[in-house]
Structure 1
């Protein structure tokens, strides 16, 4: 009796994996931060910033450190790595706030940043890197940003404990934003904030800087609440992510 071996060939099944369409874009992160302290003499104010990642947006926020009003002017911002700094916003009704930025294609290693200024009142500034932001079009395209807002009775009230509470409403359109809120303070502690906001910088009862990384895009207005402080004015802005 002859036995026959039967060979069964199974077809090969190839499984192809495609990237998910509409996947969440990479998150932005804070990449290094440093503040100058007060520079109370005309001339230059410097600090040194290091970052860990390439393709960062570097932001510099400067404020006058006088309590109620001052008369300071920034003539230029430069750094030892030779980046070109661009003025994004300036709010100068009484307590000046300036916002500059540049793009760092390589990580910064002890990059010395210099602000040249003149006038009275003194100056303090903070610089920080944001990794994962859109380096070609860094700022949220909302026509309502940057937002300049005075701490008036229309947005602020005093609670039963005697603390000032301010609710700053703003609109952003980016799918993901790194929101920056600069606050001029009248001789008091910096804003006490709630999540998603976190304090980034504060100086001697006059300067506050907070940020949040969150998905803010959409038609609904968003709020930044400053509690238990004595703010004078706010400057709100937002960097946008690469998918925006």
Structure 2
């Protein structure tokens, strides 16, 4: 009688174990989590400012700043963030125009975070673009390959002005 009772119980436990779901932890996919919007619609010179909202924490915030003409003698003098993020300069480029890239890590989702850039110099109105990327390992944000960031000349037919078409290809080091 005991054998008749034990066998169905063992069969029930075995069936339960085989039907348990297998949980797989998947890393979140890398993607765009937010794009800054100008905090005013037109025609201000200082400071440049954008509002950024995101849905995820641990986003990498990328800030691109430019002073895009040859007569620009300005530099970035400060970056202010209403959420208290601290920006680190990653790169700059300035043979014909000035371009800077900064980044910060947002530990929590952002709600209308105001990011403003102040320029120094007489001819320095500048402009900016800010966006958030989700799913990046914040311990190693950028590819450690020392050849990146890379640049390529991009000149129009007359050498300076007009529409420019360029192609740059990049890959990861791993």
- TM-score normalised by structure 1 residue count: 0.55
Note if 1:82 corresponds to 2:79.
Answer: no
* 1:125-177: CA deviation from partner (whole Å, max 9, x where unpaired): 0111111111222111121111122215xxx98xxxxx86422233322xxxx
Matched, 1:29 2:31: yes
- By how many angstroms is 1:44 displaced? 2.1
Partner of 1:138: 141
Equivalence for 1:7: 4
Q: Which has the higher helix share?
A: 2
1:67-86 per-residue CA deviation (whole Å, 9 max, x = no partner) reads x5522200221201111110
Q: More strand by proportion, 1 or 2?
A: 1
Of 51, 70, 73, which aligns to 2:72? 70
If asked which structure has higher relative contact order (CA below 8 Å, sep 6+), I would say 2
User: 2:52 matched to 1:53?
Assistant: no
Offset of 1:52 from its aligned partner? 1.4
Matched residues in 2 for 1:38 and 1:86: separation? 28
- Structure 1 residue ranges without an equivalent (≥5): 158-162, 174-216, 218-244
Q: Aligned pair in 2 of structure 1 residues 39, 99: CA closer, same or farther (>3 Å)?
A: farther
Give 1:167's aligned residue. 167
Whether the 8 Å CA contact 1:52–1:108 is kept in 2: the answer is: yes
Largest Rg, 1 or 2: 2
Deviations 1:200-223 (A, max 9, x none): xxxxxxxxxxxxxxxxx5xxxxxx
Query: What SS does the corresponding residue of 1:51 show, helix, strand or coil?
Result: coil
Query: Normalising by the residue count of structure 2, what TM-score does the alignment of the two structures yield?
Result: 0.75
What is the alpha-carbon distance in structure 1 between the residues aligned to residue 64 and residue 71 of structure 2?
A: 18
- Equivalence for 1:235: none
